Every structure is written in C-alpha cells, then in structure tokens.
Chain A
Amino acid sequence: MILLELFLSFFKIGLFTIGGGYAMLPLIQQEIIRYGWLSPQEFVDIVGIAEMTPGPIAVNAATFVGFRSAGVWGSLTATAAVVLPSFISVLLVSKVWEHYQNSHVVGSIFAGIRPTVAGLVGGAALTLGSTALQAVQPGVIDIPSVVLAVVVFAAVHFFKADPIKVLIVSAAAGLIIFK
C-alpha cells in the first residue's frame, strides 16, 4: 500500500515539476509532510544532502524518501515514479516538437507557469526557513542560523559562490556555532 502511495505521490511530483531542480521542492515538501514520510527538519536535511551529492535533486529526494519509508523497494518505486512523467512526455513531445515549440497556446501557458514557479520556490524558502531557523529551540528564532542563512544567500546571489563549497563551509560553521 505504501508503495502505491509512494508511486502516485512521486509520479505527481515528476509530472508537475517544470523548470527542474529547485522548482520541485515546494511539491515534494507538501507531499512528504502530508503523508508524514519525513519531518520538516529531515526534509531540510535532504535538500542539503541532495545538493552535496551528484544528480538531480528530485531523484535524490525520491530515493531518500522512498528508502526511509519503505526500504530498497520503496526507493526504487519512488525513483521510477519521479522519472516516469519525464520519460513519457519526452517521447511524446519529441515527435511533435516543431509544432509544440511554436504553439502560442503552449507558449502563453508556460509564460504563466514560470513566474508561478518562482513564487512557489520563494514560498518554500519562507516555510522551510521558519522551521530551520527555529531548530535550536522551537518558538525562538535562532539568530546565528538567520545570520548564516543571510550570508549564504548573499554569497550565492551576489558573488556566485559554488553551492557545494558554501555547504561545506556552513557545516564547519555549524560545528563552531552550535554547542
């Protein structure tokens, strides 16, 4: 039963991820919290792990969540489910690509979806932020965490820092800050 739930949930996640990478996070967040597969805290951990390990975040998250909730079969089910919509749609669209690419209807729908995705990822930063930044003591915003989050934002946004290096430095900072 849990395999079926995992399959349907990650199929949905794969199907509604447009723009790749971080665009998937809001949906993954909502689905895993809805089913209670992971706590919000564990979800943030996975995003960190996914960023530090090779491969697309969606695939990493599917494998991890699947394994935690139903072992190796769970991880294979979730991973297959998250890539199946890609497989089907690439095979279908590659046949009608010329037509699809020049269609105004498709173009205008995407012109609406792209800013929606940006807003959703912003929303994920806010909701995840409210969990992650109260990690030390629930209900109290942890100042060092907020400072670290802002520094990371600035490093990546303004100075184009490499996310992996940023995460390694942040892990080291965590060792010093959190006693």
Chain B
Amino acid sequence: MKKRRQELWNLFLAFFRIGMFTFGGGFAMLPLIEREVIDRHGWADRDEILDIYALAQSVPGAIGVNTAIFIGKRLYGFWGAIAGLIGIVTPSVMIILIIAYFFTQIQSIELISRAFGGIRAAVVGLIAAAAVRIGKGAVKDTFGFCVALGACILSVSGFIHVIWVMILGGVSGYLYYGRKKERLDQ
C-alpha cells in the first residue's frame, strides 16, 4: 500500500515537472515527456512512446494531457491515470490563477498595456503560422485542400458552429476516403 502510494506520487511528480517546464504546450512537450518517461523512469521505450503519441493525437484533447493519462493508466490503472492528469495540469492552473487574479490591475499600468499591444499583434502572426504548420501536415491532396478552404470560409462567415464544421469535415472524409478505399478493395 505504501509502495503504491509512492509510485503514484512519483508519477504525479514526473508529470508535474513536464507541465511546469513546457511552454506553448502541444509538441513542445514531447522532448520533456521523453526525458522523464524513457530516460529517467523507463516507463516506456522509444517504440512504445510513438504508439502512445499516436493514441494521444487521435483522441480529443491536448496531447500532453492525453499522454499523461495514457501512461498513468498503463502503469497503475485508473488511479495512475488520475495521478498523471493532476500532475500535468496543476502547474498551469496555479500559474494562471495567479496571473488572472492580478490581470486587471496589471493591465491598467500603461507600460504593460503598451507591451500587450505588441503581444496582440504577435499572437495573430503565431496563429497564422500554426494554421500553415497544421495545414502542411494535414492537407495531402486536392480534396484535403478544398476541405480546409471550405472550413476556413464557413468559420469566418460564422453561419454555423465550429463543432458542425468539424462533424462535416469528418463525414466528408469518411465519404471520400472511406468509400475510395472500399472501391479499391473490391
């Protein structure tokens, strides 16, 4: 019992460190995850980690969070999944709570509001770069390009909810790629 509590605590600490020191989230987390999970604790080897990432990317949610839950679950079952999850989100929650608490006061300082003028413009550039990066990996053919363009137009027009755009994308993928595969199989 005592040993098990120690194991869960180590798991929590490993993902706490990963959550604490990865800025920007997503793929920025992967090198740190590998250091903790493979090099430091030997919870998985290089091949297994690729499988873990594949799963983490194919279910909803942030990749880092999904990886923490999956590794926790594989090692110690349900409570392992909980320990990994709480470990990875605790640092961000603490830091953001502090920032959110002081945000209004900080924003009324003139220097800070000018700095945020620069940050806002930069965020637009960052998101545009992210769209291109995601697009490069995701758009494989003309059909994919049309889907991306259609999704972009639909979301900017604001006619339908983003969730419906995603469902439409999934359905069109099934109709196009799924059926094509069936035809090839016959």
Where the two chains meet, the residues of A that have a C-beta atom closer than 8 Å to any C-beta of B are: 12, 14-27, 30, 41, 44-45, 47-60, 63-64, 67-68, 72, 75-76, 79, 82-83, 85-87, 89-91, 93-94, 97, 100-101, 104-129, 132-133, 135-136, 142, 144-146, 148-157, 163-164, 166-167, 170-175, 177-179
A119-B152, A125-B124, A133-B124 known; A59+B173 contact, CB < 8 A: no
Docked Cα-Cα span, A18 to B26, in Å, equals 12
4 further A-B contacts with Cβ under 8 Å, apart from A56-B63, A75-B97, A107-B177, are: A22-B127, A48-B116, A123-B155, A128-B123
How many interface contacts (CB-CB < 8 Å) are there between A and B? 395
Residue pair A90, B63 in contact (C-beta under 8 Å): no
Residue pair B138, A118 in contact (C-beta under 8 Å): yes
From the candidates A91, A136, A151, name the one contacting B125 in the complex (CB within 8 A): A151
Residue pair B162, A54 in contact (C-beta under 8 Å): no
Residue pair A53, B95 in contact (C-beta under 8 Å): yes
When distances are taken between beta carbons in the complex, the residues of chain A under 8 Å from B64 are 20, 55-56
A54-B19, A119-B150 known; A112+B172 contact, CB < 8 A: yes
A115-B147, A170-B118, A175-B115 known; A17+B62 contact, CB < 8 A: yes
Q: Which of B2-10, B37-45, B69-77 contacts A (4 or more CB under 8 A)?
A: B69-77
Q: Which of A56, A83, A151, A154 has the most chain B CB within a 10 Å cutoff?
A: A56
The smallest beta-carbon distance between B135 and chain A, in angstroms, is: 4
Residue pair A118, B100 in contact (C-beta under 8 Å): no
A55-B22, A112-B172 known; A125+B127 contact, CB < 8 A: yes
A22-B134, A108-B181 known; A163+B24 contact, CB < 8 A: yes
Residue B1 CB within 8 A of the other chain: no
The smallest beta-carbon distance between A31 and chain B, in angstroms, is: 9
When distances are taken between beta carbons in the complex, the residues of chain A under 8 Å from B162 are 16, 26-27, 30, 120
Q: Restricting to B155-186, which residues have a CB under 8 Å from any CB of A? A: 155-156, 161-163, 165-166, 168-174, 176-178, 181
When distances are taken between beta carbons in the complex, the residues of chain A under 8 Å from B27 are 21
A67-B100, A125-B124 known; A114+B137 contact, CB < 8 A: yes
When distances are taken between beta carbons in the complex, the residues of chain B under 8 Å from A118 are 131, 134-135, 138-139, 148, 151
Of all chain B residues, which has the CB nearest A129?
B124
